Amino acid sequence: MVSQPGEDARSAGPAAPQSFRQRADRELAARHADVALRSMGQPNAIARQFDFADDNYEWRRLFSEVLGTFFLVLVAVGGGMVNARFGGHAVPAAARVTAPGLMVAAVILFMGTVSGAHLNPVVSVAFALRGDFPWRRVPAYIVAQFAGAVLATLLLWALIGKHGSAGLTLPGGGVSTITATAWEAVLTTGLVSVILGTASGAQAVGSLAAIAVGSYITLAGLWGAPVSGASMNPARSLGPALVLGDWTAWWAYLAGPAIGAVIAVGIAYVLRGAGGGVSGSRAAQGTLGVSWRPGRIGVSEAAPDGPSRTPAAGTERKADESEGSE
């Protein structure tokens, strides 16, 4: 007896081997599960939902935070130190506040999918408060960020030497530490609001988040730097302070950004409700192990030896006509 195409494999009859019926049941269940997952719209996010917690990727993420913060501090601190080293007019003030914003945008684009490109302890804390980042990973991220800041400052010190307070973030002339703290809180509220907003996916900006964050840092620096230095980042301020040995008003650059980050988390809740969604988690934790895996995928192909031999326009039509005339 031959089964019709539409019959279920289980209807093959009692003579069918037991192993065949079990295999057919498993295949049917797998097809049902596949349909159910696809109907939910995010099968990959479900199938790989635990990769964010995979410790095999953590060293890459921490290295990414060290490297990204290193580059950020290299330009943020280096602008002031290079300017002092070459007479005080080598790097204009506008360039010194624009460079960090451009660097942050570049870092987000080239390694944001690995670690989330936090580059800032209060950003890591803000993501954790939103439920987009696990608290257990916050301490290691903060250590990595401070390590990157210290390494960048040590390199600058070794290459061009110390130049007083150049490269540090300090209150402007006549500005009290309390005022600098409040100023940093206000600036950081805006920065973290931009980061959380673009990470949520509600604006569907994708990689343009790098432009949004980098633009905010630049704009905040252009008008806010004369008051407090527009740090908005404890690692950027306290890492150089540790290396250069100048702790003037240090707590303003710890308390101010921390207060601003907490306020920004509250604003995000008012605007979008609770966090912890797929988009926010991917932005905060990176997509290493979810959207892609490290290592070679597939078989590499050799580059062609010469130009493509695709027939020129009209060649195929002429060939068809000649065949039809035979």
- pLDDT on residue 280: 85
* Residue 68 burial class via C-beta count within 10 angstroms: exposed 0-12, middle 13-18, buried 19 and up: buried
Distance CA 170, CA 246 (A): 10
Q: Quick one: pLDDT at residue 44?
A: 45
Q: Is residue 302 part of a domain?
A: no
| Residue 27 domain flag | no
Query: Is 227 a domain residue?
Result: yes
CATH number at residue 235: 1.20.1080.10
Whether residue 16 is contained in a domain is answered as no
First to last CA, the chain: 50
Within a domain: 2: no
CA distances, 246 to each of 120, 155, 166 (Å): 20, 17, 11
At 277 the pLDDT is 82
Q: According to the model, what pLDDT value does residue 123 have? A: 97
Question: Are the C-beta atoms of residues 116 and 138 closer than 8 Å to each other?
Answer: no
Instruction: Please tell me the predicted confidence (pLDDT) of residue 54.
Output: 66
In a domain, 36, yes or no: no
Q: Supply the pLDDT for residue 8.
A: 46
Q: What is the pLDDT of residue 18?
A: 59
**179 found inside a domain:** yes
Q: For residue 200, give the nearest of 124, 111, 127, 109 by alpha carbon.
A: 127
What's the Cα-to-Cα distance from 25 to each of 1, 3, 123, rounded to whole Å? 21, 17, 49
Q: Report pTM.
A: 0.75
CA distance 324 to 322: 5
Cα 105 to Cα 64, 67, 108, 207: the distances in Å are 15, 14, 5, 10
Q: Considering the domain boundaries, does residue 247 fall inside one? A: yes
Query: How many domains are contained in the chain?
Result: 1
Q: Point out the residues of the chain with pLDDT beneath 50.
A: 1-13, 15-16, 41-50, 204, 308-326
Domain containing 121: what range? 49-285
Q: Which residues contact 267 (CB under 8 A, 6 or more apart)?
A: 189, 193
DSSP state of 126: H
